[in-house]
A and B are shown apart, each in its own frame.
Chain A
Amino acid sequence: MRKIIQSHATEFALLAVIVLISLFLSLATDRFFSLGNAFDLLNTSSVNIIFAVGLLVVLIAGGIDISFAVAASVVQYVAALLLESIGGGGWFSGLLIAAILGVSLGAINALLIHRFRIISIVATIATFNIYFGLLMFFTRGVSIYNLPDWLTSRVILFEHEMADGSWVEITLPVLVMVICVVATWVLITRTTTGRQLYAFGDNPEGARRFGINVGAMQFIAFGWLGLMAGIAGLIQAHYAQEVVPNALYGRELDVLAAVVLGGARLGGGKGTVLGCVLGVLMISITQNGLNLMGVSPFAFKMIIGAIILVAITLSNTSIERLLPFMREGKSR
C-alpha cells in the first residue's frame, strides 16, 4: 500500500486537493453536491480530457505541443466543409475524417521536429500561428451553424429523473472521452510502444543506443495527440452545435496546465493517465464551483492560476514532508 501511495504521490495529492475543494463547495453552495452537477461536470470536461490524454503522450515522449487546440479548430472547420460536400455523412465518416485530418496535422509537427531538428516548443508555436492564421484567413472568421443533423442532435446514453423532477444525463462526449482515456492508458502502460515512449522521453540517448526508432517515436506521440485533437474537435462541435473558428483558441494553455498539474513532466519520461484526468477535473470543479458561488467570471483565471500554483507545490515538493511515513519508506 505504501508503495502504491509512494509511486502515485502526485495523484493522491491531487485527489486530496479535489476532495478539499469539493467539501468546501458542498458546504458553500447547495447545488454543488448533486448527481446532476457531477454529470454536468463530466459532460463539460470531456473535450478537455480528450485533449489532455493526447498531450500527455507528447509530454511523456519529451516534447511539448502548443498547436493542438487550433489544429482541432482546423479539423472542425475542414471536416464540416467535407461532410457538407459528401452530403452529410454520419458519425463513422465524421470521426474518420476528423481522425485523418488530426493525425496529418500532428505528423506535420513530428516532421518539423524530427526531420528539421526544430525543438518542439518552437516548431509548434510556429504551426500554432500557421494553422490559426490559415483558418482565420480562409474563413474570415465566419462561423458554421449549418451542421448535419446527426452532428448537432444530442445523444443521451443514460438519463434518470431525480426526485425533484430534474433530469440527470450522460451524453455521447463522455463515452468518447472514456474510450480515448482507456485507449491512451492501454497504449502507454500496456504496450511495448508505450514503454518505448517513456524510455525515449526519459533518456533519448539511452533509447537511441538500444536501437529504438527515434523518428517513429516522434510520429507516434504527435500522431496520437493529433488523433485525440481531431476527435476532440469533432466532439466539441457536436457539444457546441456550431463551428466557431476561434472557439478553441487559448485552450492549449489550460490543458497544458492541467496535464502538468497531473504530474507529467516537461522534459519527458513521466506522467500518468489518472493524474492527467484528475488535473483536468480539478480545474473544471474549481471553475464550476466558482460559477455556482456567483463569483465574477473575471476573477476565474486569477483564482485558477493560484490553485494551480498551490497544487503543483503540494504535489511536487512537499508531499513527503507532509507525510513523514513516506520518507521512512524512501530512505531504505
Chain B
Amino acid sequence: MTDISGENAGRRPLLSLRNINMTFGGVKALKNVSFDVLPGEVHCLAGENGSGKSTLIKIITGVYRPEAGAVIDYDGETYSHMSPVTAQNGGIQVIWQDLALFPEMTVAENIAFQTLLGRWPRFVNYGRMRETAIRALKRLGVTLDVDLPLKEFPIAQRQIVAIARALVGEAKIVFMDEPTASLTQSETDHLLDIVRTLSASGVAVVFVSHRLAEVLEISSRLTVLRDGALVGVYPTEGMTQSRITELMTGRTFDQHVRATPKDANPVVLEVKKLTRPGQFEDISFTVRRGETLGITGLLGAGRTELALSLFGMLKPQSGEVVLVGKPVHFSSNREAIAAGVAYLSEDRLSLGLIQPQSIADNLVIASLDGIRTGGLLSDERKHRLVAQWVTDLGVKIGKQSDAISTLSGGNQQRIAIAKWLATNPKLLILDAPTVGVDVGARAGIFEIVAKLAESGLAIILISDEVPEVYFNADRVLHMAGGRISAVFDPRQCALQDIEAAVYA
C-alpha cells in the first residue's frame, strides 16, 4: 500500500505516520491512516472536502492529538502525538489557506515574525529582522520592498511572504493548504516555480489542492484519502486527472462533450458591439433558449465585468443588449432581475450568500415578492418554495432553518443557484460556479446546469477552467484583453485547442 517506488526506493522518510485514528463526536474522521513524506519531495495530499486532509495536517502540526496507538516518526524521533511547539521547533511549517498574515505590519515583520515572539518583552531589532526577511526572500528568488506594509501587496505576493515566513522557521517540511485557490494562472506558475526551488533546496512540500492539473505538474507522489481512510499512495507519473478524480470520489465520471446544436431555438439574449472602455470592447454574441454559452479566458480578461454589465451593475458605454426581442438598458440590477436575468456571483462565500442566515432565508432573498400574502411575508409559502427547490436540485440539508454555513461547498452552491431560479429567470449567468467545490460535487452542479438548459433556460457559463466550459457548454467564447478572440464549437475541436488559445 505505501510502496515507495522507483527513484525514491530506499530513502528514509522524513515524516512517517502509522495507525492514525481520530473521532469527532462519534464520527470517525480518520481510520487507520498512514502517511509518509520523503526529505525534499513534493507530495500531494488529495481528497474531497471532509475526506480528512485537514484533520491529518492538524495532527501533524500538533493541533489535534490522535487516538492511542498512533506512531509518528519525524526526523529520527518517535512520538505518540505532536504538540504545536515540537512541530514548529522541529521545522514543520504550515501555510494556511487564509495565510494568517498581518496586513498592517511590514513585509519584514511578517516574514521575521518569529523573532517577535517569546514570553518576555525584548527590544525589537529591526535591522536583524530586515536581514532575515531579505535572506528568506532571496532563497525563493524574489525581491520585495520589505519596509512596506503587507496590505500594499496583492494576494499572490502575500502568499510568497507566507512561504518566506515558513523558511525563517528553519522549515524541513512545509504544508500548503490550497495555495493557488485565489491566484491567476501566471501567479500560480510562479508559485509552482517557488515550490520547485524549495524542494531543490531540500525542503519537503506537502501540497493540498483542488486543482488536479497543478497536482500532476508539481508533485512526485500522491496520497489519496477518501472518507477518512487511505485509498493509496501513488507515483504521479502516469497519473491522469480523471484517474485521480476516480480515486478521490470512488466513482467514475465519464466526461463527454454535451454540446448539441441549438440553432433552431429562439434567441433569448443578443449582445451587439457592447463596449466599456478598459474592461471589454466590441462584444457581440447571442444566447438561445436552452443553450449554454461558455465564456473562458484568463482572470482580468473582462469576463466578470461583461457579466455585471448584462446584470445591470455596470453601465456599458456603447452597444446594445436585446433581451427576448426588446432592447434593454438596465440602470440597476433590480431592473435586470425583474426582466429575467439572474447572476450567480463569482465570490459565493462573501457576495452570493449571507453565511450566518438560514438556508431558507438565503434561498428566498431574491424572490421575496413571490412569497408575500397581502403585504407580509408568509412563512408557509416560504417553506413550500424552499422544500420544492431543495428536492428539485437534490440539496442535502438538515433543517431549513439551519445556517447556510453548515452546508458543504457543493450544497451551498446549489442553494445559491436555487435562489436565482426562484426569480423565474430567462437568462442565468453562472460566474465560476465551481470555485471551492469538490470534484464530486462539481459533476452534480453541471448535471443541474444541463437539466436547466433542457427546461429552456438560456445559460452563460463563465469559468477559467477550460475543461468545464468545453464539456458543458454548447459553444465557447474565448475572451482575451477585453475582446472575444475566438469562438469554439466543442463538437468540432479538441480540449487542447481551446487550452492552447487561452494559455498562449
A interface with B by C-beta (< 8 Å): 3, 7, 189-196, 198-199, 202-203, 205-207, 209-213, 269-270, 330
Tell me which residues from 90 to 131 in chain B have a Cβ below 8 Å from any Cβ of chain A: 96, 98-105, 109, 113-119, 121-124
A191 engages B123 (CB within 8 Å): yes
In the complex with contacts A202-B102, A202-B104, A209-B100, A192-B122 CB distance below 8 A:
yes
B102 engages A212 (CB within 8 Å): no
A206 engages B122 (CB within 8 Å): no
Interface residues on B, range: 20 to 34
Q: Please measure, in the bound complex, the distance between the C-alpha atom of A45 and the C-alpha atom of B219, giving whole angstroms.
A: 63
In the complex with contacts A190-B124, A191-B121, A191-B124, A206-B116 CB distance below 8 A:
no
Interface centre among A190, A195, A270 (most CB of B within 10 A): A195
B103 engages A212 (CB within 8 Å): no
13 A–B pairs (Cβ distance < 8 Å), ordered by A: A191-B123, A193-B121, A194-B124, A195-B105, A195-B109, A196-B117, A198-B105, A199-B116, A202-B104, A202-B105, A203-B100, A211-B85, A212-B117
Contact of A270 among B104, B117, B119 (CB under 8 A): B104
Q: How far is the CB of B135 from chain A (nearest CB, A)?
A: 20
Which residues on B sit within 8 Å (CB–CB) of A330?
Answer: 152
Contact of A192 among B84, B104, B124 (CB under 8 A): B124
B123 engages A206 (CB within 8 Å): no
In the complex with contacts A195-B109, A210-B113, A203-B124 CB distance below 8 A:
no
Which residues on A sit within 8 Å (CB–CB) of B119?
Answer: 213
Which residues on B sit within 8 Å (CB–CB) of A198?
Answer: 102, 104-105
Q: Please measure, in the bound complex, the distance between the C-alpha atom of A193 and the C-alpha atom of B119, giving whole angstroms.
A: 9
Q: Please measure, in the bound complex, the distance between the C-alpha atom of A190 and the C-alpha atom of B122, giving whole angstroms.
A: 8
Q: Please measure, in the bound complex, the distance between the C-alpha atom of A195 and the C-alpha atom of B147, giving whole angstroms.
A: 15
Query: What total count of A-B pairs have CB within 8 Å?
Result: 68
Q: Please measure, in the bound complex, the distance between the C-alpha atom of A213 and the C-alpha atom of B118, giving whole angstroms.
A: 10
Which residues on B sit within 8 Å (CB–CB) of A209?
Answer: 96, 100
Which residues on B sit within 8 Å (CB–CB) of A192?
Answer: 115-118, 121-124
Q: How far is the CB of A285 from chain B (nearest CB, A)?
A: 28
Interface centre among B84, B104, B117, B119 (most CB of A within 10 A): B104
Instruction: Indicate whether B467 reaches chain A with its CB closer than 8 angstroms.
Output: no
Contact of A206 among B85, B100, B124, B152 (CB under 8 A): B100
Which residues on B sit within 8 Å (CB–CB) of A193?
Answer: 121
A202 engages B117 (CB within 8 Å): no
Q: Please measure, in the bound complex, the distance between the C-alpha atom of A194 and the C-alpha atom of B116, giving whole angstroms.
A: 9
Instruction: Indicate whether B486 reaches chain A with its CB closer than 8 angstroms.
Output: no
Instruction: Indicate whether B181 reaches chain A with its CB closer than 8 angstroms.
Output: no
Instruction: Indicate whether B149 reaches chain A with its CB closer than 8 angstroms.
Output: yes
Instruction: Indicate whether B148 reaches chain A with its CB closer than 8 angstroms.
Output: yes
Which residues on A sit within 8 Å (CB–CB) of B85?
Answer: 211
Q: Which residue of A lies closest to B103 (CB)?
A: A202
Main secondary structure of the interface of B (DSSP, over half): loop
Which residues on A sit within 8 Å (CB–CB) of B122?
Answer: 191-192
In the complex with contacts A191-B124, A192-B121, A203-B96 CB distance below 8 A:
no
Which residues on A sit within 8 Å (CB–CB) of B100?
Answer: 203, 205-206, 209-210
Which residues on A sit within 8 Å (CB–CB) of B148?
Answer: 3, 7
In the complex with contacts A3-B147, A191-B123, A195-B109, A203-B117 CB distance below 8 A:
no
Which residues on B sit within 8 Å (CB–CB) of A269?
Answer: 102-105
Which residues on B sit within 8 Å (CB–CB) of A205?
Answer: 98, 100
In the complex with contacts A211-B84, A330-B152, A195-B104 CB distance below 8 A:
no
List 11 additional contacts besides A203-B100, A207-B102, A269-B103; criterion CB under 8 Å: A190-B123, A192-B118, A195-B109, A195-B124, A199-B113, A203-B103, A205-B100, A206-B99, A209-B100, A210-B114, A213-B119
In the complex with contacts A3-B147, A190-B123, A191-B122, A211-B117 CB distance below 8 A:
yes
Tell me which residues from 446 to 502 in chain B have a Cβ below 8 Å from any Cβ of chain A: none
Interface centre among A194, A203, A205, A270 (most CB of B within 10 A): A203
Q: Please measure, in the bound complex, the distance between the C-alpha atom of A330 and the C-alpha atom of B100, giving whole angstroms.
A: 24
Which residues on B sit within 8 Å (CB–CB) of A202?
Answer: 102-105
A196 engages B103 (CB within 8 Å): no
Contact of A196 among B101, B104, B116 (CB under 8 A): B116
Q: How far is the CB of A203 from chain B (nearest CB, A)?
A: 5
Which residues on A sit within 8 Å (CB–CB) of B105?
Answer: 195, 198-199, 202, 269
A206 engages B101 (CB within 8 Å): yes
User: Nearest 4 pairs between A and B by C-beta?
Assistant: A206-B100, A269-B104, A193-B121, A202-B102
Q: How far is the CB of A186 from chain B (nearest CB, A)?
A: 9
Q: Which residue of A lies closest to B152 (CB)?
A: A330
Which residues on B sit within 8 Å (CB–CB) of A194?
Answer: 124
Q: Please measure, in the bound complex, the distance between the C-alpha atom of A193 and the C-alpha atom of B116, giving whole angstroms.
A: 8
Which residues on A sit within 8 Å (CB–CB) of B117?
Answer: 192, 196, 210-212
Q: Please measure, in the bound complex, the distance between the C-alpha atom of A190 and the C-alpha atom of B121, giving whole angstroms.
A: 10
Q: Please measure, in the bound complex, the distance between the C-alpha atom of A189 and the C-alpha atom of B115, giving whole angstroms.
A: 14
Q: Please measure, in the bound complex, the distance between the C-alpha atom of A189 and the C-alpha atom of B125, giving whole angstroms.
A: 11
Tell me which residues from 286 to 313 in chain B have a Cβ below 8 Å from any Cβ of chain A: none
Which residues on B sit within 8 Å (CB–CB) of A203?
Answer: 100-103
Q: Which residue of A lies closest to B150 (CB)?
A: A202
Which residues on B sit within 8 Å (CB–CB) of A213?
Answer: 119
Q: Please measure, in the bound complex, the distance between the C-alpha atom of A195 and the C-alpha atom of B121, giving whole angstroms.
A: 10
B102 engages A206 (CB within 8 Å): yes
In the complex with contacts A191-B124, A211-B117, A199-B102 CB distance below 8 A:
yes
Q: Please measure, in the bound complex, the distance between the C-alpha atom of A202 and the C-alpha atom of B113, giving whole angstroms.
A: 13
Q: Please measure, in the bound complex, the distance between the C-alpha atom of A22 and the C-alpha atom of B147, giving whole angstroms.
A: 33
